[in-house]
Amino acid sequence: MRKQNRIQVVCTMLALTVLMSFPTLGANIPPDLTKGETNGVNRSGTYNLGATGLRGWIYTKPANYLDSLQGRTTLASRQILVTHVGEKSPADGVIQVDDVILGAGGKLFSDDRRT
């Protein structure tokens, strides 16, 4: 009986590990900011965009439990919603609040925008 309990515990732990590694259905689909899908955008949760003078919102949601533990929360993000343009910054007069940044250096973003 004791061996059977250990097998059940191991099987339960394995099942939980597998389930936690799967993404939740539909939960990791970022909004298309170019289509105005900004419902749920928390403009207070923004990132500083380097020396540009910009701050922007980036979709953040871990794809699975392991990603959340490792801080990988922006893997699905490919767009940045501009939420602030600093006065007299390099971006002032070039980019406006609510613009959507899709890439840099003439190329579309192809991976995590936070990096």
- DSSP string of 18-76, one letter each residue: HHHHSPPTTTT----GGGT--TT--TTS-EE-GGGSEEEEE----SSHHHHHTT---TT
Cα-only R_g, the chain: 20
List the pLDDT tens digit at each of the 115 positions of the chain. 566 666 766 656 656 555 555 544 445 677 788 888 877 777 777 888 889 999 988 877 766 777 666 566 666 678 889 999 999 999 999 999 999 998 888 988 877 666 6
Ordered by start, the domain boundaries in the chain are 25-108
pTM of the model: 0.64
